[in-house]
Copies of this chain bind each other. A is one copy, B any other.
């Protein structure tokens, strides 16, 4: 069975496992106050050129989103997200569980636009109508849920809009490596640190056992954040595991290599799908593809390949999702393309 189900189907990059094995019996203090975490934070501040940023390591994405948003907002303040945003759809109301509404705007290829942000803000009385929530934080993800990527211009427009309106900009980077290594991308790590108030570099979907590295650049969001992590159940006792893994993938830009590998395999698959004449839900330059297949063919493919159904398109056809990762072997793509040709 070849897996195209997601980018967290396997364990970790060999270098990561090697580091874990090597340090297994070293003793450290807990809760992320150990030397590995300090070292990883330093590498991240350097790589993203944000020397004054606070860096925290969290286990997963929903936890990171929930903790950041709940810590940033006062009780009546809300987040703005695309209607397809992960926090709006696929986190079982984790944001609302902390007391905050998610205000949505229609996505454009999975992306939120500066105009949509302005419209949502205006529709809530510019944050001043006391009968409505006050939008205060913009949540975007890069790459998006649909595998699309923000251009540098789009990110700049969103960032400037947020600053003009007094909104925080928070970027979910669960799939940041594929975004930054996608063909044509011009957004650099340092751009991110400059344009966002907080963002995270995803590890779970990019070759770690688990972990997201949160970077907070806005001073007003820094205070009390370790209290916030602990309160939301996110303070890992053996925090060193997070620091060590990130420290490992920051060396030699291993994180970007892993993302680039995922993208390359996706690009091969995408090219093959297009050659074969398949329609796609959206044109994605990263490691998630959404081709539309005939239902009978889907059933046949599932004998050999594991992947997700995305959405029904007609009575006879369904959009599916193929995801590649650092662990996807070229021969798996070859096998899938061969099966699609049959």
Residues of A within 8 A of B (CB): 1-3, 5-6, 8-12, 14, 17, 20-21, 23-31, 59-63, 66-67, 70-71, 74-78, 89-94, 96-102, 130-134, 204-205, 209-210, 224, 226-238, 241, 306, 327
Check if B94 sits within 8 Å of A233, measured CB to CB.
Answer: yes
Which of A29, A100, A241 has the most CB atoms of chain B within a 10 A radius of its CB?
A29
The 23 sampled A-B contact pairs (Cβ below 8 Å) are A1-B27, A6-B237, A8-B237, A9-B27, A10-B25, A11-B23, A17-B24, A27-B327, A29-B306, A59-B236, A60-B236, A75-B228, A92-B132, A93-B101, A96-B101, A96-B133, A97-B98, A130-B229, A130-B230, A205-B237, A210-B237, A210-B241, A232-B232
* Additional A-B contacts beyond A6-B30, A20-B209, A92-B230 (14; CB < 8 A): A2-B27, A8-B237, A8-B238, A10-B26, A11-B24, A17-B21, A25-B327, A60-B235, A60-B236, A76-B230, A78-B96, A92-B227, A204-B237, A210-B237
B10 touches A231 (CB 8 A): no
Do most interface residues of chain A lie in helix, strand or loop, or is the interface mixed?
loop
Contact A93-B241, Cβ < 8 Å, known A11-B24, A74-B224: no
Structural contact, B11 and A227, CB atoms closer than 8 A: no
Beyond A133-B92, A232-B94, is A75–B66 a contact (Cβ under 8 Å)? no
Q: Which of B12, B23, B71 contacts A24 (CB 8 A)?
A: B12
Instruction: Count chain B CB atoms within 10 A of each CB in A2, A26, A236 and give the residue with the most.
Output: A236
Contact of A29 among B9, B31, B228, B235 (CB under 8 A): B9
A117 to chain B: closest CB distance in Å?
A: 18
- Contact B11 A29, beta carbon cutoff 8 Å: no
Complex-state Cα separation, A233 to B17, whole angstroms: 25
**Distance in Å from the Cβ of A265 to the closest Cβ of chain B?**
14
Q: What residues on B are CB-neighbors of A230 within 8 Å?
A: 62, 76, 91-92, 94, 130-131
Q: Which residues of B contact A71 (CB under 8 A)?
A: 74-75
Question: Are A60 and B232 touching (Cβ within 8 A)?
Answer: no
Complex contact B24–A9 (CB within 8 A):
no
Residues of B within 8 A of A306 (CB): 27, 29
Q: Tell which of B9, B31, B133, B224 touches A76, judged by Cβ atoms closer than 8 Å.
A: B224
Taking CB atoms, residues of chain B closer than 8 Å to A226 are 130
- Check if A224 sits within 8 Å of B93, measured CB to CB: no
A70, A92, A101, A227: residue with the most chain B Cβ atoms closer than 10 Å:
A92
